[in-house]
Chains A and B, each alone.
Chain A
Amino acid sequence: MADQKTGDQIPVAATDISWEVRNGVTRAADVLERYLAEIERRDDDVHAFNLVLVDEARARAAEIDDNVVMGRVLGSLAGVPVALKDNMCTRGIPTTCSSRILDGWKPPYDATIVTKLRDAGAVIIGKTNLDEFAMGSSTENSAFGATHNPHDLTRVPGGSSGGSAAAVAAGFAPVSLGSDTGGSIRQPAALCGVVGVKPTYGAVSRLGLIAFASSLDQIGPMANNVADSALLLEAVSGHDPLDSTSIQQGPLEISKQLDWGVAGLRVGRITDLPEGASPDVNERLEVAFDALRAAGAEIVDVEVPAFTYGLTAYYLIAPAEASSNLARYDGVRFGLRIDAPDTNAMYLATRTEGFGDEVKRRIMLGTYALSAGYYDAYYGRALKVRRRIALDFAQAYEKVDVLLTPASPTVAFRMGDKTTDPMSMYLCDTYTIPSNLTGDPGMSVPFGTGESGLPVGVQVLAPALKEDVMFRTAAELERSMS
């Protein structure tokens, strides 16, 4: 058994933690205690977690250490604490979507990613805060209060996976999982200065991810560095027979290629990108192009004319799907019920009481976009625009291997700045939305700082299932910063 270790003696990177735990150099229990102590010290201020699984995580870490002593073979995430966005089902453990409507509900099954994490030897440390049902870009729309950006507590962490991003940025966990429907992993990653990946649609099982917009939702990793995000993505990806939209192939293979560099890679600059990014963000994007050019990549100008219509297509399609998915919350099977004399009155009272303002707004927008007389004008047209966007990206990818854009138009904004104007909040997703519509992967890499010394993220986009090339590019950007 390894000697007890504390604080600085324990590695920070998930890849190192796993190696040391597997080889008996560091105990999973000591790793866990380091993170629990940090949560204890600072999460009252940050509020990254809805629930910290102290007892469960301790039991799990002890189990892993026993396995090491007994010489059992452990997985790639041995002893690595992982924070889970609280819209992923954990059997017998409350899963809230940061909504009152799931009050008291405990899922009767685990999400596939939870099973995969367990198989890989990970320690689930807690459930992280989010915008209710993943609808928002600031993690201010939570029934349990907002999450704060660890870099500046007066600012938002981004959203909707703001809790998962803040948990990694604050040192509460080395890695976390978020979900991304229109940028909900990449935008908070950018605002918190961590890596955030939206994989190809279908690369990670959605079984047990509580649905927001089923044709757009995808689970992905958040981490302090590119290699850790690759490690986590490899562990949770792969075909799941229980998810009919899961791609029929094995786990993604990324880690081995991280050092391959970008020599000869064609990196696209979108010349007709929608405006709106602030000067500090654009400046960092230019530095990123320069860094890749210096590393041997060719920078190629491309046009993606329909990019600019992504926001509209998304904000018609996602609410439409949400209005259907959220119809199941009626006070019968899960969580909250507000008593009333008859069933219809009970539905109405439960949903009115249980959902927050933003969720109601999107349900109404989606119901409207799908309703008779407006379906063709709104939802129907949005689906055609979605096709147009996919075709435009496919054309661009004939000329380039990856594309570079801002991840978020600005650095972290102040809490309360956008809460009274939903449309201004929606514009946060301008650069991340298209890859959800097309199903292609995208990731945000921390790339220096902008206004007020706050983190800036650069987004790398790639065609479906080209995660390997996307990660190589991200790894090169990371290297150029060190």
Chain B
Amino acid sequence: MGSAIASDAVSDRINSEAVAKVAKLARLSLSDDELLQATHQLSDMLDHFADIDALDLEGVEPMTHPMPIANVMRDDIEQDVLDREEVLSAAPVAEDGRFRVPPILGLDD
């Protein structure tokens, strides 16, 4: 396989437009070079993952979890919780007992 960048045979499974959209959804910023490289690498992976395309999966129940799981309930009794100061002290910026963030509204308009 070698470096994905060096290969000229690129599949059309995913194009750079789609990768750019995915990066945006995932809140990641890519340079032009990174976008090109990511497109090649994701294409290469999706080519590899095409081995399941031919499988007949009609009627197979999707498996999201290894064990059967159900909601776990507990009695509503008072117990220790995380210490607020300790949690906030691990945050980048906190103020007045809260996480502080940059402005959310009123910048784009």
Residues of A within 8 A of B (CB): 105-109, 201-202, 215-216, 241, 244-245, 247, 308-309, 311-313, 315-316, 323, 330-337, 339-349, 351-352, 355, 360-361, 363-365, 367-368, 371, 378, 380-388, 390, 420-424, 426, 437-440, 464
Report the nearest B residue to A329, measured CB to CB: B27
Select which of B19, B22, B62 is within 8 A of A380 by beta carbon: B62
Q: A315-B45, A382-B52 are in contact. Are A351 and B61 (CB under 8 A)?
A: no
Q: Which of B51-91 contact A (CB under 8 A)?
A: 51-52, 55, 57, 60-67, 69, 71-72, 74, 82-83, 86-87, 89-91
Closest 9 CB pairs of A and B: A439-B66, A337-B92, A383-B62, A387-B63, A108-B86, A384-B57, A384-B60, A312-B49, A386-B63
Chain A residue contacts of B3, Cβ below 8 A: 420-421
B42 close to chain A: CB less than 8 A:
yes
CB B73 to nearest CB in A, in angstroms, measures 10
Contact size range, B = 35 or more
Do B26 and A339 touch across chains, with their CB atoms under 8 A apart?
no
Q: Can you name the residue of chain B whose Cβ is closest to the Cβ of A438?
A: B66
Q: A315-B49, A337-B92, A343-B104 are in contact. Are A367 and B64 (CB under 8 A)?
A: no
Interchain CB contact under 8 A, B55 and A309: yes
- In Å, the complex CA distance between A464 and B65 comes to 13
Are A385 and B57 in contact (CB-based, < 8 A)? yes
How far, in Å, is B37 (CB) from chain A's closest CB?
A: 9
| A341–B52 alpha-carbon span in the complex (Å) | 45
For this complex, 19 residue pairs linking A to B, each with C-beta atoms less than 8 Å apart, are A105-B90, A215-B66, A245-B69, A312-B48, A330-B27, A332-B91, A332-B101, A336-B92, A339-B102, A345-B102, A352-B29, A371-B22, A384-B62, A385-B55, A422-B4, A423-B41, A423-B48, A440-B66, A464-B67
CB of B25 closer than 8 Å to a CB of A:
yes
Interface centre among A107, A339, A365, A390 (most CB of B within 10 A): A365
Judge whether B63 and A323 touch: CB under 8 Å.
no
Collect the chain B residues with CB atoms within 8 Å of residue A368's CB: 14, 18-19, 22, 42
Residue of A nearest to B91 (CB): A333
Residues of A within 8 A of B71 (CB): 244
Task: Say yes or no: is B9 at the interface (Cβ < 8 Å to chain A).
Answer: no
Separation of A364 and B35 alpha carbons in the complex (Å): 11
Contacts between the two chains (Cβ within 8 Å), count: 169
Question: Binding site of A, secondary structure by majority: helix, strand, loop or mixed?
Answer: helix
CB-contact partner of B101 in A106, A343, A348, A423, under 8 A: A343
Q: Which residues of chain B have C-beta atoms less than 8 A from A332's C-beta?
A: 91-92, 99, 101
From known contacts A340-B102, A343-B103, A364-B22, infer whether A351 and B90 are also in contact, taking CB-CB under 8 Å: no
- How many Å from the CB of B29 to the closest CB on chain A? 4
* Contact partners of B23 in chain A: CB under 8 A: 364
Q: Mark B1-20, 1 if CB is under 8 A from A, else 0.
A: 11110000000001000110
Q: Once bound together, how far apart are the Cα atoms of A345 and B29, in whole Å?
A: 10
Q: Are A365 and B45 in contact (CB under 8 A)?
A: yes
A312 to B45, CA, bound (A): 9
Q: Which residues of B contact A426 (CB under 8 A)?
A: 45
Q: Kindly state the separation between the CA atoms of A107 and B87 in the bound complex, as whole angstroms.
A: 8
Q: Is the CB of B82 within 8 A of A108?
A: yes
**CA–CA, A352 and B34, complex, Å:** 12
| Contact indicator A109/B82 (Cβ below 8 Å) | yes
The one of B28, B51, B67 in contact with A364, judged by C-beta atoms closer than 8 angstroms, is: B28
Q: How far is the CA of A381 from the CA of B49 in the complex (A)?
A: 11
A323 touches B67 (CB 8 A): no
B63 touches A383 (CB 8 A): yes
- Bound Cα distance A154, B14 (Å): 36
Query: In the complex the two chains form, what is the Cα distance from A268 to B59 in whole Å?
Result: 29
**Residue of A241, A333, A437 most packed against chain B (CB within 10 A):** A333
